[in-house]
Amino acid sequence: MCGIAGYVGHRNAVEVVLDQLQRLEYRGYDSAGVAFLDGDSLKTIKRAGKLEELKQLIGADLPDSNLAIAHSRWATHGPPTDLNAHPHADQGGRIALIHNGIIENYLELKEELVRKGHSFQSETDTEVAAHVIGQEYGEGTSLEDAVRRGVKRMKGAYAFVVASADEPDKIVAVRAASPLVIGLGDGETMLASDIPALLPYTRRVVILESGQLAILTPEGLKVQNLAGAEVDYVPFEPDWDVASAEKGGFEHFMLKEITEQPEVVHQCLAGRLTEGGKIKFEQIFSDHVLQDIDRINVIACGTAYHAGLMAKHVFERMLRLPTDVFYSSEFRYGDPVLSPKSLAIFVSQSGETADSLAALRLCKKKRIRTLGIVNVVGSSIARECDRVLFTQAGPEISVASTKAYTAQVLVLFMLALYVAQVREMPGIRLRETTAQLRKFGDYVQDALQLEDEIKRVAQQFEDAKLVFFLGRGADASLALEGALKLKEIAYLPTQECPAGEMKHGPLALIEPGVPALFGATDEGVRDKIVSNVREVQARGGQAIVMTTDDEGRFDSVADSVLKVPQSGNPYLNALITIVPLQLFAYHMALVRGCEIDQPRNLAKSVTVE
Ligand code: F6R
């Protein structure tokens, strides 16, 4: 969630780290700061609010420095104020430190330091960390030794980046859980909390592992373990290009990411459908293991959890495999009953979500087989799962997840087909289904043509106080995701549930003018949805129906009808409605003047509990 940037080398370091912070804005933050070498001391400038405010404070004439570290903070200890913003200094003001994560024993450490005469400017755990490391930074000690000794006294999950005025060509970074990536250039070395921030400068990337310490100088990188022994590393070249991590002419990353979904579908399917109409996965369990599985647990948070709900329909109806879907935060403390033959599937865009990671570790401790469905290569969940299937959706920058969801559902769908293939289940019609999958990108492209109609619906309901999202079966799972999107970015209360549940309570909230978005892609329950539409209208509500029905059977029933393409497959039909749902949330947020790519109170990557 916090953004970390650091640079040492021949360029203007302040300019580089400010640019890197901008590329990390998607992570969510509420203050920002930078420390840079200014003559023989370190100068720190920091500000509550957006990066733009920090830039104004620094001024157009950027300080000329070859070393800088910078940070965008997501408040955990103390509110987002100028003083609580990072970087923080030690007692002597010789070092500057930035941090992502939480120091669990910071209060004990702080009390001990106060007894020794230390004074603190902020309420943060990070300033305590700076003082602890500063205490270890005595005569004849190198910065890396001080960091190594300091972190031994701290408990928690963190990534620290430290610079010292006394060692002006060096940045030291250490990682315990929170992500850090390092970029290698010619006469320059840099770091960040995520790869897109490095791409304009270098394509040679090293992922720092948990428990490793990095020493960055213009000449290059040294990696050590916490005992001080040198560790080998192998740089790799990410296949993401700079353009795919930038807005590409769209007003918002969210719209760009919604619009690029046809391409994402192709990327996600790439190499996974054979000519003979079968599914092919590179990294998956053996046939024997897949035949042995007796139940599936999908564990995830937020949007990824909603992708898991879609998977439940497929696994249960297609494979007849009992499937439970858990919120990671409930799973980890819920003492779940786990069959030794079960498969635990962890769905995560970032691969760093703290609750999902903890739930994964719990499963590993109980020797349950684990499979990750992850977007970010090299992320913790991807590395720790027994097997991983990447969603291949490219970097998702907007805080509100869109294209990652579509790719997650597709991978889960392909997984169900793969298991059916391995189990030689009759009646699955693999060839036909893979042909429908191949065309899915085109259907998504067609659904994007609804944007103008959706814009009109959004303008009509701009002042709504509450929006309903309804459906049955897979459409009900989509309703949950549509509602989450609207809450997140348009700050509108929503009521979402299976349409058949309305009369058991939620119907009380329908008042004249309240909009209700219905997903109606399932032929089998079409008449039931018609009755639910009438229930809403009888109380003055307005029904907007998204349907694959091309015979106009909702035309005389609904207040508005949004026709989505018919793919021939019930799960894919439901999934197509994600496009109008995402566009509805986007246009509602736009007409209501909300900040779309960094909505309030949310972070892209939730690396703390
Ligand atoms: C919603 C959203 C969040 C994430 C959730 C899990 O738009 O982005 O609900 O889906 O925080 O994040 P990952 O998938 O990174 O584990």
Nearest CA residue ID for atom 5, ligand 1: 302
Q: 185-211: string of b/e by CB count within 10 Å (b at 16+)?
A: beebbbbbbbbbbbbebbbbbbbbeee
Report the share of the chain in percent with pLDDT over 90.
Answer: 81
User: Which of 401, 409, 606 is the best mutation target for the ligand 1 pocket, counting ligand atoms within 8 Å of the beta carbon and taking the most?
Assistant: 401
Name the pTM for this structure.
0.78
Mean pLDDT of 544-555: 91
Q: Quick check: 63 and 43 in contact, CB under 8 A?
A: yes
pLDDT of residue 473: 97
Q: How many CB atoms lie within 10 A of CB 343?
A: 27
Banded model confidence at residue 245, pLDDT cuts 50, 70, 90? low
592 C-alpha vs ligand 1 centroid, how far in Å? Answer: 23
Nearest to 134 by CA among 87, 94, 105: 94
Longest dimension (CA), the chain: 83
CA 216 to chain centre: 28
Nearest CA residue ID for atom 11, ligand 1: 302
Question: Over 80: is that where the pLDDT of 242 sits?
Answer: no
Which numbered atom of ligand 1 lies nearest the CA of 402? 7
Mean pLDDT of 404-433: 96
Banded model confidence at residue 244, pLDDT cuts 50, 70, 90? low
CA distance 268 to 575: 15
Mean pLDDT of 47-63: 94
- Report helix, strand or coil for 222: strand
pLDDT of residue 155: 87
Mean pLDDT of 205-230: 96
pLDDT of residue 195: 87
Catalytic residues: 2, 604
Which numbered atom of ligand 1 lies nearest the CA of 404? 14
Banded model confidence at residue 526, pLDDT cuts 50, 70, 90? very high
Which numbered atom of ligand 1 lies nearest the CA of 401? 7
pLDDT of residue 46: 97
pLDDT of residue 161: 98
The pLDDT mean for the chain works out to 93
CA distance 63 to 52: 17
Q: Which pair of tokens denotes residue 334?
A: 């819920």
CA angle (339, 344, 350) in 5-degree steps? 160
Banded model confidence at residue 372, pLDDT cuts 50, 70, 90? very high
User: Which of 27, 254, 349 is the best mutation target for the ligand 1 pocket, counting ligand atoms within 8 Å of the beta carbon and taking the most?
Assistant: 349
Q: Find tokens 């804005």 and name the residue.
A: 25
Nearest to 517 by CA among 568, 567, 464, 591: 464
What's the pLDDT tens digit per position in 118-138?
A: 999 999 999 999 999 999 998
Contact residues of ligand 1, CB 6 A cut-off: 301-304, 348-350, 353, 356, 400-401, 484, 488, 605-606
DSSP letters of 360-385?
HHHHHHTT-EEEEEESSTT-HHHHHS
326 C-alpha vs ligand 1 centroid, how far in Å? Answer: 14
Which numbered atom of ligand 1 lies nearest the CA of 381? 16
Question: Over 80: is that where the pLDDT of 493 sits?
Answer: yes
Question: Over 80: is that where the pLDDT of 34 sits?
Answer: yes
166 C-alpha vs ligand 1 centroid, how far in Å? Answer: 41
Which carries the bigger pLDDT value, residue 600 or residue 579? 579
Q: Which pair of tokens denotes residue 412?
A: 């889960």
Q: Which pair of tokens denotes residue 22?
A: 């901008």
Banded model confidence at residue 249, pLDDT cuts 50, 70, 90? low
Which numbered atom of ligand 1 lies nearest the CA of 605? 15
Question: Over 70: is that where the pLDDT of 243 sits?
Answer: no
pLDDT of residue 412: 98
CA distance 495 to 515: 11
134 C-alpha vs ligand 1 centroid, how far in Å? Answer: 36
What's the pLDDT tens digit per position in 298-325?
A: 999 999 999 999 999 999 999 999 999 9
CA distance 220 to 303: 39
Mean pLDDT of 377-392: 90
Task: Give the full edge-to-edge strand order of the sheet including 95-103.
Answer: 88-89, 95-103, 156-164, 171-176, 212-217, 220-225, 230-231
CA distance 574 to 564: 9
User: Which of 350, 357, 578, 600 is the best mutation target for the ligand 1 pocket, counting ligand atoms within 8 Å of the beta carbon and taking the most?
Assistant: 350
pLDDT of residue 553: 86
Nearest CA residue ID for atom 3, ligand 1: 302
Question: Over 90: is that where the pLDDT of 77 sits?
Answer: no
Mean pLDDT of 549-561: 91
Strands 369-374 and 95-103: unpaired
pLDDT of residue 28: 66
pLDDT of residue 550: 81
Banded model confidence at residue 229, pLDDT cuts 50, 70, 90? very high
Question: Over 80: is that where the pLDDT of 605 sits?
Answer: no
Residue 152 is which amino acid? K
What's the pLDDT tens digit per position in 419-474?
A: 999 999 998 899 999 999 999 999 999 999 999 999 999 999 999 999 999 999 99
Banded model confidence at residue 271, pLDDT cuts 50, 70, 90? confident
350 C-alpha vs ligand 1 centroid, how far in Å? Answer: 8
Mean pLDDT of 227-255: 82
403 C-alpha vs ligand 1 centroid, how far in Å? Answer: 12
Strands 467-471 and 515-520: parallel
Q: Which pair of tokens denotes residue 50?
A: 């957006």
